[in-house]
Amino acid sequence: MLRKPMFIAGRSMVEILARLGYVAKGLIFLAVGVLALLALFGFAEGRVTGTGGAIHVIGRQMPGRWGFSLLALGLGGHVFWRLYQAFLDPAEKGRSWLALIQRSGFLVSACIYGSMLLVTISALTGLVSNPADSADFADRALSWPGGRFAVGVLGLGVIGVGLYQGWRALFQPFRDKWAAPESIAWVLAPLAWMSSLGIGIRALLFVFLGWAAIRTGWLASSDELADLASTLWRLFSRDQFGGLMLGVTAVGLSLYGVYCLTNAALRRIET
């Protein structure tokens, strides 16, 4: 059934974990965007980084290990929520080919955010001091039997995700899953358009990253592939409008973070 938003009593543990996951996800993407904007305007605190770097920045904002601990809790909640959606199908999508593709997407999402959780746990336990980027993974993948082909197929899949996210940005199906009291219903329209902009720009990043992965497999060189923000930085820095494009990317990732935080507050959670 559909649970009410988090500001209404009677929440289940599944809903609590799902909302904590959206909070962690939102903070990470918001940090990626804000850090890039600070770097663009020359602030010393700014840096162009991906999700791994953002996790380290956020985790160090609280004393001791509290920052990393809370991020690990949130990311663990998001991984659980995606697995719950993939295997238990609370939205009753069914077993049609389209439904199975969507549920497989939840499983892929669980793997992606599971990798972020591992980065967070590694930082929490002191196993690593700096996050590895996608180029490190690509180097390992290219050394595997059939690795070049696998990286290329992965790139095609990432482009497919980008096209799907572009559709979501245009038609706003996510808005049907939001619920808010009448007193704040007026904020839904601006939040939806901000979310569409963030999702749309992120969709373009997926297309760029997918193309970089395809070139990585074709050329057998991980030089074409870094993590999301770093890849775009290298692409945009070759153009005379690189600064503008980086700014647009940073704003888009920040707005995507806002979208995730909106989900944490307003999304109906199927349990």
Q: What is the CA radius of gyration of the chain?
A: 19
Angle 13-40/228-236 helices, nearest 10 degrees? Answer: 30
Whether the CB-CB separation of 74 and 24 falls below 8 Å is answered with: yes
The residue-averaged pLDDT of 161-188 equals: 91
Share of the chain above pLDDT 70, in %: 79
Tokens of residue 57, six digits:
């920045």
* DSSP state letter for 178: B
Q: Cβ–Cβ contacts within 10 Å for residue 77, how many?
A: 24
Query: Is the model's pLDDT at 5 over the cut of 90?
Result: no
CA–CA distances in Å: residue 251 to residues 134, 179, 257, 265: 22, 25, 10, 21
Interatomic CA distance for residues 220 and 87, integer angstroms = 35
Q: Supply 267's token pair.
A: 């999304």
Identify the pLDDT of residue 6: 43
pLDDT in tens, 57-90: 999 888 778 999 999 999 999 999 999 999 999 9
Tokens of 236: 């945009």
How many Å apart are CA 32 and CA 47, to the nearest integer?
9
Residue 4's pLDDT is 45
Contact 51, 209 (CB under 8 A): no
Domain span at 131 = 2-270
Structural domains of the chain, count = 1
Q: How far apart are CA 205 and CA 165, in angstroms?
A: 10
Strand runs (DSSP E) across the chain, as ranges? 2-3, 269-270
Residue 137 has pLDDT above 70, yes or no: no
Q: What is the pLDDT of residues 204-231, one digit of tens each?
A: 988 888 887 787 766 655 555 555 555 5
Residue 180 neighbours by CB distance under 10 Å? 16
- Tracing tokens 């990317």 back to the chain, one arrives at 249
